[in-house]
Structure 1
Amino acid sequence: MSSLGELRSIALARKQGGAKERTRTPDNVAGYLFLAPWIIGLVVFTIGPMIASLYLAFTRYNLLQPPEWIGADNFVRMAGDERLWNSLWVTLVYVGVGVPLQLALALAIAVLLDRGMRGLAIYRSIFYLPSLLGGSVAIAILWRQVFGTDGIVNGFLAWFGIEGTGWISNPDTALGTLIILNVWTFGSPMIIFLAGLRQIPEMYYEAAQVDGAGRVKRFFSITFPLLTPIIFFNLVLQIIFAFQSFTQAYIVSGGSGGPSDSTMFFTLYLYKQAFELLNMGYASALAWFLLIIIAGFTAINFWVSKYWVFYDD
């Protein structure tokens, strides 16, 4: 049987615990109130539209009449849609070529800036600026002027007696101009690479230098392995962004998808189905198909990462 002192200690502990709970309650309420705008925005502008889109993916809907349930017909229709598969191929080429080139350039510039040059903040801002403007309508219009028939590129080639071509109107080069635009917006991954480089201990390089390792050897033996988590992060992020690219293709091609659909990105084809042809149900199915594709590429990247990404424990 417990003594009187022990009972008093237990009662006091319970009283103090209850007081702590009472003091926590107002804090919790305040926290939820601060989170409320974000939660409301998430439900209204993200989760709600996603649920609606999933429902519309199984309907025939033209924005003018109520949705008509048709089951999986929209997904079956995709199998025979040649223009859809062409747009997917164009997007895959854009992602497969543009993303590696962008990351390679971003890493090279980051390594160069990491060498402690004067005016680092200025150079960093200059290189980051294209990432802020790369997805804007103004830059896309500028790109049309740069690669147009009478554009800057052809004007430069004329100095050497080379006759240029309509880079945007040529189906063999139109997609290449958009890939160059994507590579040009390397600022965002560059900043992330630069932050990762600053986290590598200097003693590793000093030890390698004492052993006689040159710059190339130090890069592939120290920098690259320790930077692989950052490379992986940028890779996943830029692949997702590249699959969602729309403004560049829409403005540069004038909304037509370019000559012979050479710049018909998946997102541009989805847009045309939804707002030009008013096939909103089919467009919703395309959106979910794109989500599955992006999720698949992300899952593959995570699975493959165990073979080349090294974490410094």
Structure 2
Amino acid sequence: MAHSEQGGAERTVVGVDGSPGAREALVWALRDAARRGTSLEVVSSFPVELRLSDPFVLDEAQLESVREDTLQRARAQVEEVRAETGQTGVPLDVLAVAGPPAQMLLAASEDAGRLVVGSRGRGAVRSLVLGSVALRSVTHARVPVVVVHAGADEGRDDGPPRVVVGLDGSEASGIALERAGREAELLGAELVAVAAYSVTGYWSDAYAVALPPPEQLAGEVRGVAEQQVAEARVPDGVPVRIECLEGPAGDVLVEAAQGARLLVVGGHGQGAVRGLLMGSVALHCVLAGRCPVMVVPGSGTSGRHVPA
């Protein structure tokens, strides 16, 4: 459901650096902002390390020249992508800021609705490297972060569009579930709630006694998932399907989300059922997922959990 969200707090922040990944992130962010009716803030950064280490290398005039060049490159890419996508009506600002890319994006998104980044960067300007921005963003951002891969396979299903969300019985995955429901409503998609469980053998045979039979474990996991879905505030009209799958949570989610419009995971989880763990699943999905991945911060952060 698109809202009238022209207020600054609901804007989308997207990082660009001239790399294929960042360009894909800009395409996704423009289309998403158009669906929501929000504004877009495009942020590109340039390094200041040389200036800080040797004041004779880069003076104020040169620094301003680098800023202007970065800004013009960013604006040119924005106009190119706007023309390509047809999203010429999205209100936006383009900023060029001095400093480390991840730090600058995190600061810009503090009061935003969401942050969008490419999975990997490769600066089009000399010494401009995005590098670990996606990793830093998903581990430190106070707002939901969408990581877009170059060549993402979103929406390539033959069937109806899907939004996939990972469940593990934790509060974090409950927050992710409600966010995924709103994203599915926005996209006109089915919501697929995936709960993974593992029956992998352990070094100690004592686990064979401690763990329930696979059938019982699967039943427990499905029961927790069904309870989470029943208690969640998922928008009316969004079809919800629950899948309970065996295997490591990260691998299961990446596989289940192939061709989906979006994969949503909680930033932190702590399975409420034996053998069901999220932990570093978000990072695995960010690294291995082929569709856009949204990482939703938990309630322990001061991030904004607002309707989308």
The alignment's TM-score, normalised by the length of structure 1, stands at 0.23
Answer with 1 or 2: which has the greater Rg.
Answer: 1
Higher relative contact order (CA closer than 8 Å, sequence separation 6+): 1
Structure with the bigger percentage of helix:
1
Structure with the bigger percentage of strand:
2
The alignment's TM-score, normalised by the length of structure 2, stands at 0.24
